[in-house]
Structures are given as C-alpha cells and as structure tokens.
C-alpha cells in the first residue's frame, strides 16, 4: 500500500490510512492503535480517526517510535504527442516523451509503448506490480484507438480488418472495429485491442493497403484521454489509480 502525490498534498491523508500504508497493519488494527492513544502527531496524542497527517511535514510516532513515511508511488497520465519516442533516451537525439514530463516526479516508466507516430494515452508509474499486469496479455486490459485513414473504406475492407490478417505466420486480429465516420476522402475507425502487440494496427493497415493519416489511443482500461491536449500530463486521482488496480485484480490502496 502506498500514497500518491494527490493524496499526500493539501489537507494530507487520514492517520489510519497513513499508518496502514506504512505497514503497521490492517485498517482495523491501525484504528485500534489510534483509539488506544499510542499515536502522536508532532508530539500531540491523537485519538481521532479523522485526524490528518502531511507525510512531508508531520512527524508521526507510535509508542514513541517514529513512523517513516511510506514510499510515494506515482501514477501519471500523459497525452503522448506525435513524432516522439516512448523511451528514456534516444542515441540519435530524437525527441522522447520525457521532454513533455517536466515537473513530474522521477523515475517513472511507461506502461507499454506507443510508436513514434502514434499519439494518445500513456500511463507512467513506479508501481512495478501494477505496470507488469497492465502490460501483460493475460489480463486483457482494453485499449481503444481512433484511426483516421485516407479514402472511403468499404464494408468488405472493414470486415477484413475485423477478421485480422496473417503477418509472419501469425494471425493479428483486433478485438473490435467500428466505423465512426465515412466519407469520400477519409474514414474514421474505432479499433479495440486487448494486448499491445508491436504496431499491430499499422501492420494490419499496411496489409490491407490502407494509408494511416492519424492514430490516437483514446482509452486504456478505465482511463480516457479526454481533457488532455498533446504533450500535457496530469496525476491520476486516487479513485483512478484504484480503478486501474481493480482492472487487473490487484488490491486497492
């Protein structure tokens, strides 16, 4: 259990949550510690379960022993812009996602990748167990993309897209394909995947001779890119982080 930047700012976190996150036991056990009068905040005894603590400033003791603040786990949602790499460093000097993360706590690593010319929702975190499960195909976390393709794509091609294509002897097939808009010069599709295979959508388009004008990941699991412009980032709320953890069958904080 850990504290996110959002929960440890402003008015702080409830004392029972702080103690549980620091590893002093279950919520019930730490509530008993507080009610027993063994907990102090900055030298003052606390028996109120609604009391709050700022992990950065306040000193908490239990039975006279200092409780170190729990490790801060960071969850960031970035709208990756086009023409930048999902990597920490590029030897050729090309732009990376970290140029758009100034001010974010480090180190944090991306959950999976988006290729250079694909934009959209990217999660970065230092929560290793969560990142592993989000990226692992076993947990089938839904990824939703919006695809702008040149020309008017007919129903036959859409059906072929849904059926998938064989690439290097392996069937590459999306979970779902839906026509959002179709016109003479451009077609917009919504494509759903349950695992992030390398450039899967672009490889299908190449096999079907479709020209990709733009590709954006608009949703990852329960999270949406709505409200963030390209290159913008924000912290996840506690509720959003918990929803991610539930989506891969991890306990909530």
Contact between 67 and 60 (Cβ < 8 Å): yes
Query: 169 in helix, strand or coil?
Result: coil
Determine the Cα–Cα distance for residues 25 and 34; give it in Å rounded to an integer: 12
Query: 34 in helix, strand or coil?
Result: helix
Contact between 172 and 243 (Cβ < 8 Å): no
Q: Is 115 a catalytic residue?
A: yes
For a pLDDT cut of 90, what percent of the chain falls above it? 68
Q: Which residue has the tokens 């970290």?
A: 98
Residue ranges covered by each domain of the chain: 13-66, 75-246
All residues at 6 or more sequence positions from 227 whose CB lies less than 8 Å from its CB, including other chains: none
pLDDT at 3: 46
Q: What is the pLDDT of residues 172-198, one digit of tens each?
A: 899 999 999 999 899 999 999 998 777
Q: What is the pLDDT of residues 130-171, one digit of tens each?
A: 999 999 989 999 999 999 999 999 999 999 999 998 888 888
Mean per-residue pLDDT over the chain, rounded: 89
Q: pLDDT-derived band of residue 213, with 50, 70 and 90 as boundaries? A: very high
Task: Determine if residue 156 is left, alpha or beta; phi over 0 gives left, psi from -120 to 50 gives alpha, anything else beta.
Answer: alpha
Which residue among the candidates 115, 154, 155, 213 is catalytic per the annotation? 115
Q: What kind of fold does domain 13-66 have according to CATH?
A: 3.10.290
Burial category of 105 from C-beta neighbours within 10 Å (exposed 0-12, middle 13-18, buried 19 and up): middle
Q: What kind of fold does domain 75-246 have according to CATH?
A: Pseudouridine synthase (3.30.2350)
Q: What is the pLDDT of residues 19-42, one digit of tens each?
A: 877 778 777 888 999 999 999 999
Q: pLDDT-derived band of residue 252, with 50, 70 and 90 as boundaries? A: low
pLDDT at 253: 54
Minimum mean pLDDT among 11-20, 88-97, 181-190: which range? 11-20
Q: What is the pLDDT of residues 51-90, one digit of tens each?
A: 999 888 899 999 999 998 777 788 999 999 999 999 988 9
């Amino acid at each position: 259990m850990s504290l996110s930047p959002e929960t440890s700012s402003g008015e702080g976190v409830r004392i029972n949550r702080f103690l549980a996150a620091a590893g002093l036991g279950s919520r019930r056990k730490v509530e008993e510690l507080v009610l027993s009068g063994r907990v102090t905040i900055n030298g003052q005894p606390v028996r109120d379960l609604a009391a709050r603590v700022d992990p950065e400033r306040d000193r908490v003791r239990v039975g006279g022993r200092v409780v170190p603040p729990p490790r801060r786990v960071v969850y960031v949602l970035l709208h990756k812009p086009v023409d930048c790499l999902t990597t920490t460093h590029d030897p050729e000097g090309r732009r990376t996602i970290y140029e758009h993360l100034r001010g974010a706590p480090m180190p944090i690593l991306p959950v999976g990748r988006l290729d250079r010319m694909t934009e959209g929702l990217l999660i970065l975190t230092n929560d290793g167990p969560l990142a592993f499960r989000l990226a692992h195909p076993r947990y089938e976390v839904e990824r939703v993309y919006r695809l702008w393709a040149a020309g008017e794509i007919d129903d036959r091609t859409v059906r072929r897209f849904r059926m998938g294509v064989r690439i290097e002897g392996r069937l590459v097939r999306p979970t779902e394909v839906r026509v959002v808009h179709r016109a003479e010069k451009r077609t917009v599709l919504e494509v759903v995947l349950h695992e992030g295979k390398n450039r899967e959508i672009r490889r299908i388009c190449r096999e079907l001779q479709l020209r990709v004008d733009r590709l954006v990941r608009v949703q990852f699991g329960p999270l949406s890119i709505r409200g963030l412009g390209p290159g913008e980032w924000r912290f996840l709320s506690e509720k959003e982080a918990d929803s991610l953890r539930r989506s891969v069958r991890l306990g909530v904080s």
